[in-house]
Chains A and B, each alone.
Chain A
């Protein structure tokens, strides 16, 4: 249904364009002008459980493509966006990728929002030699290196590292894990266990889980509370359940501070959890704390500019995941500019030469051996919720 709608919208827009051109230039030229646009394919997870990611990215990319086109597009050509929603379904993501390269003949694809969906699209990218820029962040995307896949967010190991650094620095060496049994929660839990074993300064002394859809985690938290060793509680999940965990944590009067995954970083979180979220700690992308960044931060100016643009159009504040959409398009457009063409191989080469490109979540650097774009230091900032706001802490 959704796809039909999108197609209809697309064809309506197409018809309007054709009519407009047709009036002045005639139908034959329309075809060549349409072919002249730079076609960028986008697959986001805008429905289903991952929708909180994809919806933000979709809105951002649409806004930024419009903005870029108003400024004259890229290479003197308009950007034509072909967008599909994969519905949090990896098979569908693969089909859509196939369709983008064979039917829509796009020059480059940005997508998708989640790791499994990106992985299923990556094979198609390799086979058809079309660069794929992913907005998902698991380490498996870049290790081993996939020649046609580039990743925007930093990987989950680095993100969790920021939290572990903070724990170690504040001598909270014994932690309890409380993770969801959803795909994301399980993956994050494994990363946490691995990281803990590797570092040695943060030990996991309790390991609890809960299922998607559970409405109360008091039982797991009671068990954690009765474990005298626990100095901090780490919740690994996204969506609404971290807010329930936060409320239960507060209601049970647990003294050990609560740490949350960076996937919870959205203004919605303190809003949902209410006063219970005071003192909760989590690492967030720059976009969330742009006002608190020093002026020397390379991403600050761009992030402020984007925030104003976004607020004007959607009447709401962007959060971290909007930033990944923005930066995905930014990295793509930058590569197209430098390549001076829309040829797949040229784009891939240009992507690998991306150097010191400031986005809204940080600076991007890629090379032939590094498709993760990461810099030595994480781009996330540790924050604590104070008065319902994300406040940067040491």
Chain B
């Protein structure tokens, strides 16, 4: 029984990491219909900047704030330097551009900080919490809490604020949005900035658990993307649920089955879900353009 509980808890903590990264994918997808494959690397940039600030002798809270803002700046730059010059290229070329941007981000980080591994101290100590024989690391609670907070804030932002609605309008029909007086370019810029910020939040929160290094965005970015697809691209709650399902399935497989096949089972699950529910668990919001 204790084991089962431990597997569930571990699965949830792993899953919330995937979910937090998935939120960044969904945010950018919602506003520009672009799958930003540099999302994982924006996360890495946030973590690395936070580590650099901390190493420079500043306190952890400052490092966390600077790191997340650094991610936002990287997001803005990504839009200004790579996405905007591409003009009216469709979503597919833009996706390819983000793949290239990911390589650039990785390269720049390697030039500045090398290829080593870095860690951030946990936000509230390393002492593991024991509960009913189950171990929880406090940092996991931070990740869980942040994930929940981000979902609430984003849902509110897109449903109830003017800017949020303007962003949605831009993604649904840029021409109509322009006619309505929305500065679509600024909305997209804002979105990439927000995406970078969100990625960096994930990066800073995850760095104490999984560390940060130039390649960290590759694998976690992929898992985050899978979680986002699983939940139905475009839905914040879906992304988090997708992440949790992925995390718990993986952990159960390592716990009860053979850990060798855990990734295979996770991806099989995705195939099954997408075959029977092609729009993901919580489906797209039905704004598909024809």
Contacts and interface: CB of A to CB of B under 8 A. Distances in A.
A218 B259 contact: no
Contact of B254 (A52, A210, A239): A210
B281 to A, nearest CB: 23
Given A215-B210, A272-B211, A222 B255 contact: yes
Interface stretch (B27-35, B85-93, B109-117, B150-158): B109-117
Listed residue (A222, A250, A274) with the most chain B CB atoms within 10 angstroms of its CB: A222
B135 A216 contact: no
Contacts of A272: 117-119, 211
Given A210-B259, A211-B263, A276-B126, A216 B115 contact: no
B213 A240 contact: yes
Listed residue (A215, A223, A226, A244) with the most chain B CB atoms within 10 angstroms of its CB: A215
B6 A218 contact: yes
A112 interface: no
Interface string A207-223: 01111110111111011
Interface in B205-252: 206, 209-211, 213, 215, 218-220, 222-223, 251-252
A244 B210 contact: yes
B219 A219 contact: no
A200 interface: no
A161 to B, nearest CB: 26
A252 B135 contact: yes
Listed residue (A51, A253, A275) with the most chain B CB atoms within 10 angstroms of its CB: A51
Contacts of A212: 219
Contacts of B259: 208-211, 219-220
Contacts of B252: 219
A284 interface: no
Q: Binding site of B, secondary structure by majority: helix, strand, loop or mixed?
A: helix
A266 B118 CA distance: 13
A191 to B, nearest CB: 18
Band of interface residues on A? 35 or more
Interface residues of B, number: 41
Contacts of A217: 254
Interface string B103-136: 0000100100011111100000010101000010
Contact of B211 (A209, A218, A243): A243
A49 B222 CA distance: 17
Contacts of A210: 254, 259
A226 B3 contact: yes
B288 interface: no
B108 to A, nearest CB: 13
A251 B135 contact: yes
Interface of B: 3, 6-7, 10-11, 13-14, 17, 107, 110, 114-119, 126, 128, 130, 135, 137, 206, 209-211, 213, 215, 218-220, 222-223, 251-252, 254-255, 258-260, 262-263
Q: Which 5 A-B pairs have the closest CB atoms?
A: A213-B219, A215-B210, A251-B128, A219-B254, A218-B10
